[in-house]
Structure 1
Amino acid sequence: MLKRILVVIVIIVGIVFAFKYCEFKKEDDSTIDYNTNLIQQQILNVGKLVVTEGHFSEVLTYKNQAKYLMDMLSFEKKALIVVNVKVTVAYDLHKMKYDIDEKNKTITILNIPKEEISINPDIQFYDVEQSKLNPFTGEDYNKINKSVKANLAKKIEKSSLKTNAQNRLITELSKILILTNTMGWKLQYNGKVIETEKELSADLKL
């Protein structure tokens, strides 16, 4: 009789431990699911268009000569040109590619989209001089527009606009870094584990 009672007690204890294990397992899985959902939500929040805007101005003079009769006769056209330009540098983080490894609690950024530079010039002509034998044409405007954009591209490279845009990008990505650090996860990029914003900044500027 005592033996039977002991067997029953052992079975009951076994069942209780089994239920407890299942509860712990369920809670652990729930925690992983919660953490993963939280991280995915943060990435969605970061996944937006980051735009930095700059303005440039320049003044230039355009001249052109049309020559006739073996260069003995020429007709000049010229104009003073004032250019005001809005330039935007954008990172579309909707295009960012990443991988979430739940087992190893690791987020790997696979690809960050390159910046998209948009140059929108407003070109105004002043003091225009032309003749019927050498008028301003669409070809002139195309040349001027091409020249303006080429000069502006050089100015943009020398300015702080791209650096400012990259700093804003780093600020957005740091939100993911802060969350992973808080939750005990790891963030990887370029084959390295990123632990600080400084490391993230250094890898982005490689």
Structure 2
Amino acid sequence: MKTALIILLSFLLGAAAFYAFALPQDAEIKDEGTVLLEQVRKVSKLVTVEGDVNELFSRTQTRNVTLYLPLPAKFSFDKQASVEVTGKILVGYDLQKMDVAIDDAAKTITLSNLPEPEILAIDHDIVYRDLNESWFNAFTAEDYSALNKAAKDKLRADALQSRLMDEARAQGAAVLETIAFLAGGAGYVVVLDAGAVSQER
């Protein structure tokens, strides 16, 4: 009787241990963070075009190592990362660069130093699709940061060569026409670049 009880107890303990350790468990994640607000400043930016991006980006880095076995022998160790970049690119105008002069007597609004469209923000996410590293060339935290920056820089360069800039310029012209229309309703004339053709409604 005592032997059967010991066997039963051992079986129950073993089953409990199996369920506790062998079966997948939900991982407990604890995040801690500190928010540091360094500077707050006023901005006047007009977003005229928003572009969605989805791009695959890869990078290979080679490390040359000399091993003495006992004679010197050179070996190359590669590490390669393939990432998928998704996000949004906001293109528009920094209105702080523009000068506005209002002449109430002449009923004119003069806009000068009109800025060119520029990339105002890049909001992107990175998913690491494939990471291959070598024994003597492993990925570090600095590598992940560099990959993130390189992917963002590539998005910026591609956006500058895309149609986003032309579309932003066209939308900017439409905004100026709207401003001229609203100003005309108040009896004002909008003059571009102090000598350009005025737009009157």
C-alpha change, 1:75 and 1:180, in structure 2 (3 Å) is closer
Answer 1 or 2: which has greater helix percent: 1
TM-score normalised according to structure 2 size: 0.60
Match of 2:93 in 1: 91
Change in CA separation of 1:125 and 1:95 when aligned onto 2, cut-off 3 Å: same
Instruction: Classify 1:92/1:135 alpha carbon distance in 2 versus 1 (closer, same or farther; 3 Å).
Output: same
Give the length in aligned residue pairs.
151
Q: Provide the C-alpha distance between the structure 2 equivalents of 1:64 and 1:94, rounded to a whole number of angstroms.
A: 42
Counterparts in 2 of 1:1-206, with a 5 A limit?
49-69=46-66, 72-93=74-95, 96-113=98-115, 115-117=117-119, 118-182=121-185, 185-196=188-199
State the TM-score, normalizing by the size of structure 1: 0.59
For the aligned residues, what is the CA RMSD? 2.9
Alpha-carbon separation, structure 2, partners of 1:102 and 1:196: 17
**Percentage of identical aligned residues:** 34
Change (3 A) 1:134 1:174: same
Helix, strand or coil at the partner of 2:180:
helix
Partner of 1:38: none
Q: Give the unaligned 5+ runs of structure 2.
A: 1-43, 67-71
Deviation at 1:177, TM superposition (A): 1.3
Larger Rg over CA atoms:
1
Where does the alignment leave 5 or more consecutive residues of structure 1 unmatched? 1-46, 198-206
CA contact (8 A) 1:50 1:169 kept: no
CA distance in structure 2 between the partners assigned to 1:154 and 1:87 by the alignment? 11
